[in-house]
Structure 1
Amino acid sequence: MTIPHETPAARNGFRKDMQTRHLVMLAIGGTIGTGLFLASGFTVSQAGPLGAVIAYALGALMIYCVMTCLGELAVQMPETGSFSHYASRFIGPATGYTVAWLYWLSWAVAIGSELLGAGVLMERWIPGVPVWIWAALFGVVVTVNNLFSVRAFAETEFWLSLIKVITVLVFIIVGALAVFGVLGHTDPATTGLANFHREGWFPTGFGSIALALLAVAFAFAGTEVIGIAAGESRNPQRDIPRALRATVVRLVLFFIGTILVICLLLPREQAGLSESPFVTVFSNIGIPYAADVMNFVIITALISAANSGLYAAARMLWSLGDQGQLPRLFARLTRRGTPVNAILFSMLGGVAALMSSIWAADTVYLVLVSIAGFAIVAVWLSIAACQMLFRRAWLRDGGRLEDLGYRVRWYPWAPLGALLSCTLACIGIAFDPQQRIALYVSIPFIALCYAGYYATALYKSRLARHENTEALPAELGERA
């Protein structure tokens, strides 16, 4: 087993326009979104201040274990649509097919929800315009940006993500100044360390940390996009390790720093999903126009997430076409190296999710969201499993650890930690009545994917035998 000199992206015409800064911002852009700007308040209300900090710390450890596994695979085999290829190669083609569809669906649902959220937030400034018009407008912008070129997509995502990064840094700095009494006027009884034990160290019970961990895991979702973009990197052996290290370090600092500030300045009873904790904290400190500033930032965060989501979904669909598991039209690329049919079909999936969120929020959309949330953890499970199987195959075929371009630290504890934490997250869903539906719909969906793969494979096999049977008499006639 050797390091490939030519990746599938190069063979099929993908442009290698991704640089390290693009990969880092692509991963950060896909991760820092409503999970941090809005859902972090829900985590605090669910687990309490100390519980939320512990949950985010455990989530950071989990994402490190997953990403270091992905790093070893992506550096050695930089493939566009990487998760599907790795699962097909090391676990089985049916699993690769299922992983691809799970990941595609998770992002298709995300695209619809992000566009809807951006449209709803626009009503603050321009009321009276239907939400679907704003969603459609942002959807066109995101689609055109993805269709134009990989370079245009990467640059747009870089600057959109930079806005979010700057906002998070300002929030952490301003919050730290408020904690130490340099800025604003805060109540000592409900802020600072007093906020941690004001209601007891674990006001909602220690077990609530496990339930909060599920929401935290989904907040970190999007980091794995680095693996998908590896095939379009200029120098994956150099860029992927740099991007992984930079991304994991930044995300840990941003998420842990943000949740610490929120927990030190925001009383638990004021946290929730009704308002962004960023807005509440800024307002409590006395920052003027905090609501409008955060409204703008969250809109850019949603557009950025939809932008990177369309990129990831289209590449996963392209990988299915490239492997012959979907019609070859999904593997076609434009002269600029963009999978146009995969992009348009993925956006149609996003539009369908958007429509279901408007007209069938309690039925169809609830099922889609449940599958999407479960899918992320399932993909992470496949990444850890593939890394262990790859390492075993590498050593069995005579490969040396010194020859690996990127090597998992603390092997096998890192992949085992990823497998254990992801499995516990999946099991934990069963104990949360609000998230239990994810198991009820995801397990049948996975079974349907496997059944679909084997049914398609059986049909192709019978078709090939039929064609061979028809060709044999003609061949015998020619010989005669």
Structure 2
Amino acid sequence: MDEKNSVAEPNTVQATAASPPSYGDLNSIRDSFGQRFLDSFKRDTNVHVTCGNVSNTDGTGFDVEQAAQNTAHSPLQRRLKGRTGLFVGSGVVLNTGGPASVVIAYVLIGVMLYCTVHALGEMAVLFPVAGSFSHYSTRFLDPAWGFAMGWNYALGWLIVLPLEIVAASITIEYWSPGISNAAWVAVFWALIVSINLFGVRGYGEAEFVFSVIKVVAVVGFIILAIVINCGGGPERGYISGKYWHNPGAFYNNFKGLYSVFINAAFAFGGTELVGLAAAETANPRKSLPIAIKQVFWRITFFYVVSLTLVGLLVRYNDERLIHKSSSANTHASLFVIAIENAGIKVLPSIMNVVIMISVLSVGSSSVYSSSRTLAALAEQGQAPQFLAYIDRKGRPLCAVYVASAIGLLCFLAASDEQITAFGWMMAISGLSSIFTWGSICLSHIRFRRAWKVQGHSVDDLPFKSQPGIIGSWIGFIFNCLVLIAQFWVGFAPIGYAEMSASDLAYNFFSVYLAAPVVLAFYIIYKIWFRTNFVRCHQVDLNYGRRDLHIQHLISQEKVDQAALPAWKKFYKLFC
């Protein structure tokens, strides 16, 4: 073999026990690793996605079929295993509506999200394509609405990154007050960016570790809360439900309940990431249904049960809640306050560590979700073409760089204008999850209609939404109610009679600015490309499907499931 060929095939260098490598061979191995590392950042040459060209042949309108092909053939790596699970802690809402409002609101939003995630799961298992949320809106509703939803979702997560980094730096103040936030901001930014540069595997493994810590902490808190409530705390006796009587179960009347309803919706943000990960999951037909079914337990235990217990242990008028600090502020965390009230000295610091891990987890998820959404938009011709660059390791490298660069806004934490800056950033992204969930439910309704019109049966689906079409209608209506409630609370907030006109205007746009931004994206794109609403008989139900050649396997699985004993069928229903 000549010298040229030996250089072209560096991976042929081998070392055996009988013949140890020479120093020259070791240098070749090092060079090979370094070259492979550098080559991994190059564009994947094995894929041929035509980016940015999704216009009709006459140069007008939007070619939905071409967009479907691009996202279906996205070169994102499918190495994400069934480890990814996300839990985003709820904010301080007890002071807004009282403990009964918290329980009612979280149960209702939990029902809505349960229906929404199942609708998403049905579509994601059948069409595990890149940028699921915006793609489903483009494919089943209207390309203009898909464009608006894609940028709405991307902007929402792009803004979350600097916010969560600042929140993590605030958490550190619990142990090291007086140290500049900028130092911790730099550390956390570098950590989150590094996790995402390891690709989908790095993100998945990091999220697995984060999730295990958070699950153990929440289960431990539930057990501890029951013990404290029954009189097991060192400084308080039997508590039971006395705080529901004094100061009371409700606060601020019906508007307090509506406000908590909105906060509960925001607290669940990120649960839909299970669908976004579909395109990078090794076997979505196996892993996604399990992850989706587990949402029931997350909603039940991590939100409803834990917050019900918190409402039994903390008064809604506790002085530490009066300022309504951010949920990231550990001094206003309901979990920390409940433990401190019991007189337990060590656990508050442990809970603060968990809160910091939760915040970093959300920050990592923000880079992952925003970069994948931007790449999918670019593949559909709805974002700059360079964002569709995906390297040989399946990383949307340019999109990750853009998300990381916007994350540098976290250094505003050291600015005197940080409150104003972050307030307006939150306003732009505040309704992102609500629009996303509503679009998912409506897309599922249209998908089921198209599936039926084109002669398919629901029995042909590899995974069926447990609440079905009725659940999607429930989810869609609930999301509309949240938008109405947010408009009302923004227009006439609690205590609005004592506010000036300028304060009222600022309050409204600070909580509802996202709505006109979404409408602007939609209307401009609609007029520019003259897109049409997608008709049911026009929906392409083939591109991107992974079950086209495995119907016999699906049929056999259904036969096997029918033969299971009753107890195992019940177990499979939720697990």
Question: What TM bracket, shorter-length normalisation?
Answer: 0.7 to 0.9
Secondary structure of 1:181's counterpart equals helix
Instruction: Note if 1:15 corresponds to 2:77.
Output: yes
Query: How far off its partner does 1:170 sit?
Result: 0.8
Between stretches 360-369 and 411-420, larger displacement belongs to: 360-369
Instruction: Note if 1:399 corresponds to 2:456.
Output: yes
Contact 2:71 2:131 in 1 (8 A): no
Q: Among residues 427, 440, 443, which one is paired with 1:386 in the alignment?
A: 443
Partner of 1:204 in structure 2? 252
Larger helix proportion, structure 1 or 2? 1
Counterpart code for 2:81:
Q
Instruction: Note if 1:304 corresponds to 2:361.
Output: yes
Secondary structure of 1:350's counterpart equals helix
1:399–1:446 distance in 2 versus 1, CA, 3 Å = same
1:301–1:400 distance in 2 versus 1, CA, 3 Å = same
Partner of 2:499 in structure 1? none
Q: Deviations over 1:382-424 (max 9, x none)?
A: 0000000000000000111100112223433211111111111
Counterpart code for 1:261:
L
- Inter-partner Cα distance in structure 2 for 1:93 and 1:354: 36
Higher Rg of the two aligned structures: 2
1:211–1:203 distance in 2 versus 1, CA, 3 Å = closer
Query: How far off its partner does 1:182 sit?
Result: 3.4
- Inter-partner Cα distance in structure 1 for 2:440 and 2:488: 25
Partner of 1:54 in structure 2? 104
Contact 1:210 1:428 in 2 (8 A): yes
Contact 1:113 1:357 in 2 (8 A): no
Q: Among residues 221, 244, 259, which one is paired with 2:269 in the alignment?
A: 221
Contact 1:8 1:231 in 2 (8 A): no
1:95–1:71 distance in 2 versus 1, CA, 3 Å = same
Counting only pairs closer than 5 Å after superposition, residues 262-273 of structure 1 correspond to structure 2 as 262-270=310-318, 272=321, 273=325
Query: How far off its partner does 1:437 sit?
Result: 2.1
Counterpart code for 1:80:
A
Contact 1:168 1:254 in 2 (8 A): yes
Query: How far off its partner does 1:154 sit?
Result: 0.6
Counterpart code for 1:292:
S
Contact 2:103 2:308 in 1 (8 A): yes
Contact 1:7 1:79 in 2 (8 A): no
Counterpart code for 2:344:
I
Partner of 2:397 in structure 1? 340
Q: Unaligned regions of 5+ residues in structure 1, if any?
A: 1-5, 459-480
Instruction: Note if 1:186 corresponds to 2:186.
Output: no
Counterpart code for 1:89:
R
Q: Unaligned regions of 5+ residues in structure 2, if any?
A: 1-67, 326-330, 494-506, 531-575
Contact 1:357 1:365 in 2 (8 A): no
Query: How far off its partner does 1:348 sit?
Result: 2.0
Query: How far off its partner does 1:229 sit?
Result: 0.1
Query: How far off its partner does 1:86 sit?
Result: 0.3
- Inter-partner Cα distance in structure 1 for 2:243 and 2:360: 34
Q: Deviations over 1:173-227 (max 9, x none)?
A: 1111112223434254xx3212212234424314421221100010011000011
Counterpart code for 2:440:
I
Counting only pairs closer than 5 Å after superposition, residues 232-381 of structure 1 correspond to structure 2 as 232-270=280-318, 272=321, 273=325, 274-352=331-409, 355=412, 358-381=415-438
Counterpart code for 2:338:
V
- Inter-partner Cα distance in structure 1 for 2:382 and 2:249: 52
1:438–1:61 distance in 2 versus 1, CA, 3 Å = farther
Query: How far off its partner does 1:159 sit?
Result: 0.5
1:11–1:412 distance in 2 versus 1, CA, 3 Å = closer
Partner of 2:547 in structure 1? none
Q: Among residues 184, 191, 195, which one is paired with 2:243 in the alignment?
A: 195
Q: Deviations over 1:35-93 (max 9, x none)?
A: x2xx1xx3211111112111111121111111111111111111121001000111111
- Inter-partner Cα distance in structure 1 for 2:256 and 2:351: 29
Counterpart code for 2:482:
A
1:317–1:426 distance in 2 versus 1, CA, 3 Å = same
Between stretches 229-238 and 279-288, larger displacement belongs to: 279-288
- Inter-partner Cα distance in structure 2 for 1:283 and 1:225: 34
Contact 2:158 2:367 in 1 (8 A): yes
1:417–1:455 distance in 2 versus 1, CA, 3 Å = closer
- Inter-partner Cα distance in structure 1 for 2:196 and 2:508: 35
Query: How far off its partner does 1:436 sit?
Result: 3.0
Counterpart code for 1:448:
A
TM-score, L = length of structure 2: 0.72
The alignment yields a C-alpha RMSD, in angstroms, of 2.2
Contact 1:7 1:77 in 2 (8 A): no
- Inter-partner Cα distance in structure 2 for 1:197 and 1:11: 59
Instruction: Note if 1:103 corresponds to 2:175.
Output: no
Counterpart code for 2:412:
M
Query: How far off its partner does 1:96 sit?
Result: 0.8
Q: Deviations over 1:222-272 (max 9, x none)?
A: 000011000111111111111100133223211112111111111222262
Contact 1:100 1:316 in 2 (8 A): yes
Between stretches 311-320 and 280-289, larger displacement belongs to: 280-289
TM-score, L = length of structure 1: 0.86
Q: Deviations over 1:100-143 (max 9, x none)?
A: 11111111111111100111222333344321221122111111
Counterpart code for 1:264:
L
- Inter-partner Cα distance in structure 2 for 1:127 and 1:202: 35
Partner of 1:474 in structure 2? none
1:183–1:204 distance in 2 versus 1, CA, 3 Å = same
Q: Among residues 476, 495, 508, which one is paired with 1:436 in the alignment?
A: 508
- Inter-partner Cα distance in structure 1 for 2:475 and 2:281: 26
1:408–1:355 distance in 2 versus 1, CA, 3 Å = same
Q: Among residues 191, 202, 206, which one is paired with 1:141 in the alignment?
A: 191
Q: Among residues 470, 481, 497, which one is paired with 1:413 in the alignment?
A: 470
Contact 1:8 1:79 in 2 (8 A): no
Counterpart code for 2:514:
S
1:359–1:230 distance in 2 versus 1, CA, 3 Å = farther
Partner of 1:462 in structure 2? none
Partner of 1:3 in structure 2? none
Partner of 2:554 in structure 1? none
- Inter-partner Cα distance in structure 1 for 2:96 and 2:251: 9
Contact 1:52 1:212 in 2 (8 A): yes
- Inter-partner Cα distance in structure 2 for 1:354 and 1:65: 39
Contact 2:185 2:410 in 1 (8 A): no
Partner of 1:477 in structure 2? none
- Inter-partner Cα distance in structure 2 for 1:249 and 1:217: 17
Higher relative contact order (CA 8 A, sep 6+): 1
Partner of 1:80 in structure 2? 130
